[in-house]
Structure 1
Amino acid sequence: MLPLEQDTTTTTATTAISHPRPDILIHAVPSASDTFSILRQSRFSLTLKFEDVSYSIKLQTSKRSCLSLRNESQSNTTRTILNGVSGVVRSGELLAMLGTSGSGKTTLLTALAARLPGKISGAITYNDKPFSSSMKRKIGFVSQDDVLYPHLTVLETLTYAAMLRLPKELSRDEKVAQAETIIVELGLTRCRNSVVGGGLLRGISGGERKRVSIGHEMIVNPSLLLLDEPTSGLDSTTAQRIVATLRGLARGGRTLVMTIHQPSTRLYSMFDKVVVLSDGSPIYSGPAARVMPYFESIGYVPPFNLINPADFLLDLANGIVPDSVREDQVEHFHGGSLDHQDDQNSVKQSLIASFRKNLYPELKAEILNKTNFSTVDSRTDTPRGRRENEWMTNWWEQFSILLKRGLRERRHESYSGLRIFQVMSVSFLSGLLWWHSDPSHIQDQVGLIFFFSIFWGFFPLFNAIFAFPLERPMLNKERSSGMYRLSSYYMARTAGDLPMELVLPTVFVTVTYWMGGLNPSLIPFLLTLLVVLLNVLVSQGLGLALGAILMEVKQATTLASVTMLVFLLVGGYYIQHIPPFISWLKFVSFSHYCYRLLVGIQYESVNKLYDCATSFGLHGGYCRLGDFPAVKCLGIGNHSLWWDVAALALMLFGYRILAFLALKMAH
């Protein structure tokens, strides 16, 4: 594959660019040369060094009695994930980390990307300098799971990434041109307009999805690219294409590090360097071509019929070797595997000790050898005129791009026929149940008003709960790359939900209000609609806050159910005389304020008389509205309704600020 910085020669605006492979033609796009120029300035040669990297976690274990289910005691144990791992990888090299499952490959890769929580011992340097905020945008990290929006196309995915991650010196057309170039370079032209897809949506293939994930990081032309299991779940041919692509990217001057579980012979031949881990400790770190001679030199000779060196290395990492191995005597490797755990552990310790004795001194000398990076690349770390911590785009651009992306990704959800059917069916059903209710049937009309406040408290609340927990992987990924501010994401995410959150209740109230026979005047109808919409926004804010605080759908849903049940009971409809010691609950219930406002709007004059013969079982007579129990208990005539509006407004801003602070603490 052609690296992004490959020199090109353009004859006309649509002429093919010269390419070292004659069977590939890349068509020039407007301002492409300027794009490449700026991107070349933003990337520099990078040497990654890591020395004696160690990482441990504390595990809390419980000791249980054989005859009892209760905990007898608890103790904190420390588990070592990484133990003294060292290595060097330079610009233009592809380093592969090999090891068994649980050997610490992903942990080490995450540590090299400066994304590992907790304290790491040892030294990790980038061009002999520690990690800094400016370095964050020069590192690309591709996780094992493809974290992509399933309903966006390949072109949309890479275009939005380019808009957010490329320097503000580039115009929109130049950023789109870079996304188009990435698509061609990674061989995604055939599926450029296909949706990415996911677990429940059929989209592009697994190999294409992996290349999209790589392209997402390649947009910024990173100096260091780290990939976690890029061939996981792919067939051998697709895996070879992915690794060949990565090798081509490395040959273009990038530094590449990847983890891989069990590479084939063809894949192994593409690696420049390998690090082999056994239970978190290194047993080899150095050039891939020297790995077999090294193990032969310490007495571990592979079988004569060995084809794939990776199989030999993984067996050694598991402590599996022939019973007796001499350099002049080759035995069948797999037939002589050791069975006992103690023997395997002793083999592992022997390999680790051999590494510390034979390879580590030379490796440490290479790590300590300072490179004059100014002779490698004289360009500066950051483009001229930009501060180190400055974002690639301003706040408003980030908000605008994220809002457009969110609307496009969630259009299937917001405008789904199922959701519209759900609301409209309830709307017509409630309208039929309260069909032209008699104004004298105040209890029935008050019931309809209370239904307004409850339904449009539950519905937006439970929709909003899923917002942040479901987007947590994407938020973690993009925030770790420094793509945008948390505030711009939060505002775009909440603003993107407003269209359907406000359109559906408007249609609902319009249909049910007139079918239910409520006050036919225009002003009460408009005020009722505004109060319901305010209630929707408050309910949505509470849902966002619960989702952001817990970040777990089941827990948030359970807490929301209990909360809404309490709000339902203290709303003022079911219980009109709440005991004083618990009556304070109604003052934290937005349903209570909404219900009181709606009743106050519907019956603004509590001194108005109505025919109460049917309501009280009388033969005739008129009653005062304020004396009706369901209205009297609310105390509408005793205070201004503006206090209820103020309470809802305070909740509206309070819940959303709480949600933002919860997100900020989590990131």
Structure 2
Amino acid sequence: MAEIELQQPDRGEKNDAAPQSIFAKAQRPINLEFEGVVYKIKTKEKRGENKGKQKERVILNGVSGTVYPGEMMAMLGPSGSGKTTLLTVLAGRVARTQRLTGSVTYNRKPYSSSLKRRMGFVMQDDVLYPHLTVTETLVFTALLRLPRTLSRREKAEKAEAVIKELGLSACRDSIIGGPFVRGVSGGERKRVSIGQEMLINPSLLFLDEPTSGLDSTIAGRIVSTLADLTKGGRTVAMTIHQPSSRLFYMFHKILLLSDGHTLYYGRGSEAMGYFASIGYSPSMPMNPADFLLDLANGISSDETVEDAASTKEALVDAYSHHLRDKVAEELSGLSQQVEMQQHEAEKMTNKWCTTWWQQFTVLLQRGLKERRHENFTGIKVAQVIISALIGGFLWYGTAGHIQDQAGLLFFIAGFWAYYASFQAIFTFPQERTMLSKERASGMYRLSSYFVASTMVDLPMELILPIAFVTITYWLGGLKPVATNFLIFLAVLLLSVVVAQSLGLAIGAFVTNLQSGSALLTVLMVIFQLASGFYVQNTPPFLSWVKYVSFNYYTFKLQIASQYSPTDTYQCTPTTTCPVSEFPSFKMLGFDKRALSVIALFLMIFIFRFVAYLGLSRIGIPK
């Protein structure tokens, strides 16, 4: 497999013009139109006589507006006003149900799978891999999201151009970092998130609080860059909490929300004049954004906090009388010519940017770079090595004692059944947010991600069991023959893959890790008890459990790797008995070993198919 080009391109004059080539012009402009958007949720009363009863809460109440190519709209409002909900609705990330009504169209057309690959969405919380560098993060994104017509080096050059444009050159080789890993600063993380979306040269870009946590200089640079994007015919919509006055006047349009109602929609430069015309003016010079937020909270210069409800009601009424008809006229005056151009573009873009194999190879290499830090931490390696040494020395010198040897076989199988399954159960829940973000952007197929993810984990999950068995097998006095050792190792590794598959399946379906861990614990206890080591005389109505227990098949094959039916053991001080009559072995038997292997492979397929179905349930509107 060819190594992905992560080096910087040549820094000659040719590449100095790269940022202009990326952000110069949108090939397929998009008009964003939304009319009468209403969104409701159901909540439960927490206090009073109706405690516990469900009630309906309106998050958005008939919000309308348009954003044309070349415009940047800012959605303002206090916390809980509905601006983030509106942004996700406009970006097509809320499935249309009875709770969501109204019209959201893009050049008079509904949301489509081809459209999402021409849209960028920057989340408020940065979702990035902590152990990748800034360059690696952007290059991997470029390899997945840019068209297959570009070479790897050309994609890397575009990533370099974004690094220059966003001022990330100084930290290009620093890892992103996370809660427990020191990396770049918060502002740099935000710029990397924006850079991921800017890479695809989107026609329509959504941003949720892009300046959150940034100082005024960096915030100004970000918004200025976004304003430059609109000059190329792009459409930009964002939420922003409290912009400075300098940033406020960069926005072409302002949408002011309060409790889901629209208080103002129109040109940013005309906002103060509008509110002055209906009797609301600041008593002193102040930032327009601060004044608008005060109004959205129901506070004007000459009123007290107690008058907030009446102030909000008056502002909603004023919008209905003065601005609602103008918005309706704007919605009805869209260009039919742009609609026809968009129709032709839709026919050409309803394909994946990269092939399945390209997606798989990029995701595989990205996963190997990221997960090696998680799978081979000092704590995990020490845990396995110390457990192997303790187990080996506890069973040291027990060769020939069949009861002790059976206990060792069961210990090894049980240890790795728990270890592998509980490691795997955390895989998909930890990446659920990343998967949802990237799939919503149309970066790759779910199948390519799933296969790459499981392939990444496979070699890493098998290295530690090999080290464990190599230590414990020989110290514990198991059969000192290379063939028997290799058969025993192969059986254990097969069991580890089954246990890992079970953990993946539960982790994919159960989003709550605490609930998933509880379910897995119960299943593992049942499988262990049904394996034939603890209980040989199982009640008839429970005897079927062993056939769904991978521990049962593993224990059976491990015994067969060490003994044959003709072997004997010292059953009394003076007599020997065939091992087939030993209580723990008698129920299992030495026959049907091929069926046991087939059963384990079948469990791998079933569990991983269930895991795939679980991931496909992640809510991504089509």
Name the TM-score class by shorter chain.
over 0.9
* C-alpha contact (below 8 Å) 2:26/2:232 kept by paired residues: no
Report 1:371-450 matches (<5 A): 371-374=335-338, 381=345, 387-439=348-400, 441-450=401-410
1:309 and 2:301 aligned? no
Query: What is the CA-CA distance between 1:15 and the residue it aligns to?
Result: 4.1
Distance 2:267 2:361 in 1: 47
Answer with 408-417 or 235-244: which moved more: 235-244
Greater relative contact order (CA < 8 Å, ≥ 6 in sequence): 2
Distance 2:198 2:294 in 1: 34
Query: What is the CA-CA distance between 1:452 and the residue it aligns to?
Result: 1.5
Specify the code of the residue in structure 2 equivalent to 1:367: L
**Aligned CA-pair RMSD:** 2.2
1:662 and 2:621 aligned? no
Distance 2:190 2:357 in 1: 31
Query: What is the CA-CA distance between 1:80 and the residue it aligns to?
Result: 0.7
Specify the code of the residue in structure 2 equivalent to 1:410: R
Distance 1:64 1:624 in 2: 74
Specify the code of the residue in structure 2 equivalent to 1:48: L
Q: 1:438 to 1:123 in 2, by over 3 A?
A: closer
- Residue of structure 2 equivalent to 1:325: none
Specify the code of the residue in structure 2 equivalent to 1:596: K
Distance 1:662 1:101 in 2: 33
Q: Deviations over 1:1-38 (max 9, x none)?
A: xxxxxxxxxxxx85436xxxxxxxx6367xx99xx48x
1:43 and 2:27 aligned? yes
Q: 1:388 to 1:251 in 2, by over 3 A?
A: closer
Structure 2, unaligned stretches of length 5 or more? 1-9
Query: What is the CA-CA distance between 1:596 and the residue it aligns to?
Result: 1.2
Specify the code of the residue in structure 1 equivalent to 2:83: K
Query: What is the CA-CA distance between 1:147 and the residue it aligns to?
Result: 0.7
- Residue of structure 2 equivalent to 1:54: 38
Distance 1:572 1:377 in 2: 69
* C-alpha contact (below 8 Å) 1:14/1:28 kept by paired residues: no
Distance 2:74 2:338 in 1: 27
Q: 1:91 to 1:387 in 2, by over 3 A?
A: closer
Distance 2:85 2:338 in 1: 32
Q: 2:303 pairs with 316, 337, 353, which one?
A: 337
Q: 2:502 pairs with 542, 549, 552, which one?
A: 542
Distance 1:308 1:608 in 2: 90
Specify the code of the residue in structure 1 equivalent to 2:560: G
- Residue of structure 2 equivalent to 1:474: 434
Q: Secondary structure at 1:438's aligned position in 2? A: coil
Answer with 204-213 or 238-247: which moved more: 238-247
Query: What is the CA-CA distance between 1:351 and the residue it aligns to?
Result: 0.8
Q: 1:522 pairs with 458, 467, 482, which one?
A: 482
1:95 and 2:55 aligned? no
Query: What is the CA-CA distance between 1:346 and the residue it aligns to?
Result: 2.0
Q: 2:104 pairs with 100, 124, 130, which one?
A: 124
Q: 1:41 to 1:532 in 2, by over 3 A?
A: farther
Q: Deviations over 1:375-394 (max 9, x none)?
A: 99799525xxx754321111
* C-alpha contact (below 8 Å) 2:26/2:234 kept by paired residues: no
Query: What is the CA-CA distance between 1:651 and the residue it aligns to?
Result: 0.7
Report 1:580-599 matches (<5 A): 580-599=540-559
* C-alpha contact (below 8 Å) 1:273/1:285 kept by paired residues: yes
* C-alpha contact (below 8 Å) 2:25/2:233 kept by paired residues: no
Query: What is the CA-CA distance between 1:55 and the residue it aligns to?
Result: 1.1
Specify the code of the residue in structure 2 equivalent to 1:107: T
- Residue of structure 1 equivalent to 2:331: 367
- Residue of structure 1 equivalent to 2:576: 622
Question: Which of the pair has more CA radius of gyration?
Answer: 1
Distance 1:200 1:91 in 2: 41
Distance 2:269 2:69 in 1: 18
Q: 1:57 to 1:118 in 2, by over 3 A?
A: farther
Structure 1, unaligned stretches of length 5 or more? 1-12, 18-25, 66-71, 322-332
Specify the code of the residue in structure 1 equivalent to 2:357: W
Q: Deviations over 1:381-432 (max 9, x none)?
A: 25xxx75432111111111110100110111112222211111111111111
Q: 1:491 to 1:433 in 2, by over 3 A?
A: same
Q: 1:567 pairs with 527, 530, 541, which one?
A: 527
- Residue of structure 2 equivalent to 1:268: 248
Query: What is the CA-CA distance between 1:306 and the residue it aligns to?
Result: 2.6
Answer with 368-377 or 490-499: which moved more: 368-377
Q: 1:235 to 1:161 in 2, by over 3 A?
A: same
- Residue of structure 1 equivalent to 2:468: 508
Specify the code of the residue in structure 1 equivalent to 2:309: N
Q: 1:454 pairs with 414, 421, 424, which one?
A: 414
Query: What is the CA-CA distance between 1:574 and the residue it aligns to?
Result: 1.5
Specify the code of the residue in structure 2 equivalent to 1:401: V
- Residue of structure 2 equivalent to 1:298: 278
Specify the code of the residue in structure 2 equivalent to 1:84: G
* C-alpha contact (below 8 Å) 2:107/2:342 kept by paired residues: no
Distance 1:414 1:373 in 2: 55
* C-alpha contact (below 8 Å) 2:107/2:338 kept by paired residues: no
Distance 1:312 1:73 in 2: 37
Q: 1:290 to 1:563 in 2, by over 3 A?
A: same
Report 1:66-77 matches (<5 A): 75-77=53-55
* C-alpha contact (below 8 Å) 2:142/2:156 kept by paired residues: yes
1:640 and 2:619 aligned? no
Distance 1:369 1:308 in 2: 33
* C-alpha contact (below 8 Å) 1:449/1:599 kept by paired residues: yes
Distance 1:276 1:423 in 2: 57
1:651 and 2:603 aligned? yes
Query: What is the CA-CA distance between 1:271 and the residue it aligns to?
Result: 1.6
1:16 and 2:13 aligned? yes
Query: What is the CA-CA distance between 1:115 and the residue it aligns to?
Result: 0.5
Specify the code of the residue in structure 2 equivalent to 1:647: A
Q: TM-score, normalised by structure 2?
A: 0.93
Q: Deviations over 1:107-126 (max 9, x none)?
A: 11001101013433222222
Distance 1:512 1:175 in 2: 49
Specify the code of the residue in structure 1 equivalent to 2:311: V
Q: 2:93 pairs with 110, 115, 120, which one?
A: 115
Q: Deviations over 1:513-533 (max 9, x none)?
A: 111111122222111111001
Q: 1:90 to 1:73 in 2, by over 3 A?
A: closer
Query: What is the CA-CA distance between 1:191 and the residue it aligns to?
Result: 0.9
Identity of aligned residues (%): 50
* C-alpha contact (below 8 Å) 1:43/1:221 kept by paired residues: no
- Residue of structure 2 equivalent to 1:257: 237
Specify the code of the residue in structure 1 equivalent to 2:350: N
Specify the code of the residue in structure 1 equivalent to 2:475: M
Distance 2:54 2:145 in 1: 42
Q: Deviations over 1:225-272 (max 9, x none)?
A: 110011112233332222222222223332111101111222212222
Q: Deviations over 1:112-162 (max 9, x none)?
A: 101013433222222232222221111100010001111111111111111
- Residue of structure 1 equivalent to 2:567: 608
Q: 1:494 to 1:54 in 2, by over 3 A?
A: same
Query: What is the CA-CA distance between 1:450 and the residue it aligns to?
Result: 0.5
